[in-house]
Structure 1
């Protein structure tokens, strides 16, 4: 054997080992729990490396029969984007491969000149391999191979692409099994939460269970439960804390936030964007986040379950939302993005938590429930030895209550009081001023129109004096002009001077009228001071 043949055999064996290593890596990735895009990125890189192909892509079926791109490498070298018609032909080719589910080799420019038919409008040799799981095509691997490769190697290329697609199918099967396992684990968690949430009828114990078991189900950092007490809301439980100081600043801000959202009646998912929030909710959320540095906080009102309709005629009516009895607060301290499926888990906790909390509140609100609870815990009163005494005491208590209810008895009550008028009228001064004299005594009967007070307003008096001075000055100026017009000095006036003096006379008359009107207004204000 020549040295060239030995070298060639060594290189072939080395290439085979590299391909086996790549296949082993893909098989290992198929068993891992990674995202679909990440898996196909690694698969496509190794596939192109093994085949020596310049570019490739992975496609998957989309909604409405469309095709979606999962991952691509150097797809721009095919120049499909530059030609819309070529993209349509290529898309029809991919669609046919997804429908048939068969691997194929498509030569370059296959189908050119056939309008509306699928084809390969590129200069590359296409290798198409479908990823099928139980007769369902989950994806399509497309490799753009150089056209100058030997035709005898093309079936080997296609077999290798099929092998990679089988590994991709194993990946999807493993993902589906993991999905089923996670779903089963989730159902077990939901069943456990539903069971323990309804275990107790004590409000505090129920709130504590909702907070702690709800945090495990939601997989968040902290869950708190607020319960309505009259018009106020009180934080009853915080996950991970048996006791807490309700006077602390964090708890007070948490109570304020829960009450604001519960009063609004709408759920809150706050990650920092307060564009569409009510002012009172925005202020409470910002204050709580600034204090606790929480990245994501969700506050959901807990409502009493709606009552079923009493008759069949009300079945068609929309169910009204129940009364708000509390609030569920979910916090993520480190991550601002809600985890996948977090909203659905929070909704489940709200539904079961609302029912459990409503049952506990109804049980706590029963008549004389503390007395019945205390009696149920005391066994001394119901023992055989003390039972007659207990029954006798109970009978005596019942007789006493009946006597108090049935037998009439006069009850007199004395007290001091002040008579108040049936109709009351407040008197206001029309003008502000300082009281100088009170003309009536307290409690004295007065008549309509009778003067009660004498007020003084120095501003009004000053305005009157100023206006009188202006009037006197204007009258003096007007008299001087009139003397000139009548020729009192014996000096004849020119036509221009006479017109000018007549104009000044008219202006002074208007000014005098205005001053006299102002004087009347000020005098009316002064008159109203009494």
Structure 2
């Protein structure tokens, strides 16, 4: 190859060219995007041929070319032709199916002291499987090289360009293969999704399957299904959750966002996105911002769904669709990592169009009376199969025979209850007053006689009251004695004042007070005598640990202190029958004139009765 300009990289040797080709082969076999692959292709080709820049174009719809990537040294002094001229030149190269070299003039404002012309090397990338020079190209790339090379060097450029074009063709073949595999995997996932969503007959079950399976198809972190119920929106299911918490803040925010998206009528992706480039209304923008702030999602996509058909109609414009369309559900997908919002929004729309009729069928079947009819239809479906019908009739006959046997066949009914062996004559000894135990005269197992002292209680407050009453009685008696002495005197004392009572009236008052105090003393002495508790009958003390339970202990009035039993009166078995079974026992006692038979088993003997 000829020498290039001293300011640019020298042309690589053949070994270096082979190294560049091998590196491009490795890049073609790796899962790179189209932009990244051609960026590497242009960088390696420019370094190999000493080019100052280049561009890569991909064939679009019709005759349109889409710029994939472009690089240019700003100090190269090259004047790139207009897009129309370049497109015409590149289309000609693509139709011929062979690489070509065209001259490009230097830019007039170049920083170099001497202007240098450039050669534009354009090379088509054939479609995978296309014949050479057939004109079927998947892309075309161009390199801008200083025009100081001879014909032999330029032929080397063309050969190298044709080699890397074949590598790029292999890349497109592998990319198409990857795309087909992804499409096949997506198709399988869509079939599985429809199979799972069509399984439940209720709307909640279908929404649950759509949320969990749809999240796996979309590859998002969370997918929520919100459905219109009457005039309100209700969150039916969220992926990863078995049930929806109706009072949760997330539920309320999601329902408000669904209402705003349904009113807008177009799929959206957030943040910083709006449907068809239009500005979002303040209500929708506020709902999206609030939801993202609280859920901490990096990306958000929402798509309204109609149960009746496709969401987009080519014959109507956006405003007319928004005003006429009534949406029945909204799908809300969230990702906590960065994602391709445009592709994500399209996938969510396709998912809604795919599953919308299925949700509509589930909503129709989930209404009354279809829900009740289907439930009974499922229960009666066994009548269509003779084997199951025979089995069902056999089970029903067995159940009817069992019920008849329970009603008409007599059988013994045993009632089990815990029982305690007690004496026939047994009395509880209660505390007659609130106080403390002053003396304990018996112990466990001791034999006592009727009226024997068992316990003596002490009541300091009662003793104090009794002492006060006795003092008042003594004072009243002394006053009466003094009045009796006074009456024996012949001369009466002068009245001290008009309010002083006559002597006889004061004496009567003291006599009445003395009678009242005597009655109080009698009552208090009876209460004091009641503090000495005696045995109500002759027998044996059954209470265990009497000393530790009662000695010097405070007691309350009515508290059970001791239990006395007359062992000579005989013994009886007292059973504690549960409340739910006592009715059967009472009914049997009314029906049977004789006593009911009973059997007992000791607590330590589990085999013999």
Q: TM-score range, shorter-chain basis? A: 0.5 to 0.7
Partner of 2:357: 355
Corresponding position of 2:448: none
Q: TM-score, normalised on structure 2? A: 0.50
| Shift in CA distance, 71/266, structure 1 to aligned 2, threshold 3 Å | closer
**Correspondence for 1:296:** 299
Structure 2 Cα separation of the partners of residues 198 and 365 of structure 1: 16
Number of the residue aligned with 1:211: 211
Contact 2:235 2:251 in 1 (8 A): yes
Query: 1:396 aligns to what?
Result: none
Show CA shifts across 1:403-456 (max 9, x none): xxxxxxxxxxxxxxxxxxxxxxxxxxxxxxxxxxxxxxxxxxxxxxxxxxxxxx
User: What is the DSSP-based 3-state SS (H/G/I as helix, E as strand, rest coil) of the residue aligned with 2:117?
Assistant: coil
SS at match of 2:166: helix
Q: Which residue of 1 aligns with 2:123?
A: 129
Q: 1:325 to 1:158 in 2, by over 3 A?
A: closer
Distance in 2 of aligned mates of 1:216 and 1:180: 19
Q: Choose the corresponding residue for 1:344, options 343, 346, 363.
A: 346
Which residue is 2:73 aligned to? 74
Question: Which structure 1 residue ranges, 5 or more long, are not aligned?
Answer: 1-13, 110-120, 308-317, 391-530
Does residue 246 of the first structure (1) align with residue 208 of the second (2)?
Answer: no
Counterparts of 2:351 and 2:49 in 1: how far apart (Å)? 52
What runs of 5+ residues in structure 2 fail to find an aligned partner?
Answer: 1-11, 106-114, 311-320, 383-388, 401-609
Q: Are the aligned partners of 2:309 and 2:356 in contact in 1 as well (CA < 8 Å)?
A: no
1:256 maps to what in 2?
256
Greater mean alpha carbon deviation, residues 272-281 or residues 350-359: 272-281
SS at 1:383 equivalent: helix
Within 5 Å, give how 1:491-530 maps onto structure 2.
Answer: none
Aligned to 1:96: 92
| Alpha-carbon spacing, 1:259–1:44, altered in 2? closer, same or farther (3 Å) | closer
**Residue 149 in structure 1 maps to residue 113 in structure 2:** no
Offset at residue 158 of structure 1 (A):
2.1
The structure-2 alpha-carbon separation of the partners of 1:367 and 1:100, relative to structure 1 and needing over 3 Å to count, comes to: same
CA shift digits 1:61-93 (9 cap, x unpaired):
456645554323338735324x77xx8766644
Distance 1:60 1:234, change over 3 A: closer
C-alpha distance in 2 between matches for 1:272 and 1:80:
37
> 2:270, 2:299 within 8 Å by CA — same for their partners in 1?
yes
**For 1:51-450, what aligned pairs fall within 5 Å after superposition?**
51-61=49-59, 65=63, 67-69=65-67, 70-74=69-73, 77=76, 79-81=78-80, 92-106=88-102, 123-133=117-127, 134=130, 135=134, 136-262=136-262, 267-271=267-271, 276-305=279-308, 324-335=327-338, 337-338=340-341, 340=343, 342-367=344-369, 369-370=371-372, 373=375, 376-377=378-379, 383-384=393-394, 386=396
Distance 2:249 2:86 in 1: 64
1:293-349 superposed Cα distances (whole Å, 9 cap, x missing partner): 233333333333169xxxxxxxxxx9x977644332222233375152x23321232
* Greater displacement, 193-202 / 380-389: 380-389
- Partner Cα distance (2:175, 2:70) in 1: 18
1:77 match: secondary structure: coil
Report the count of equivalent residues: 351
2:43 matches 1:45: yes
Alpha-carbon distance, 1:202 to partner: 2.1
Q: CA deviation at 1:51?
A: 2.5
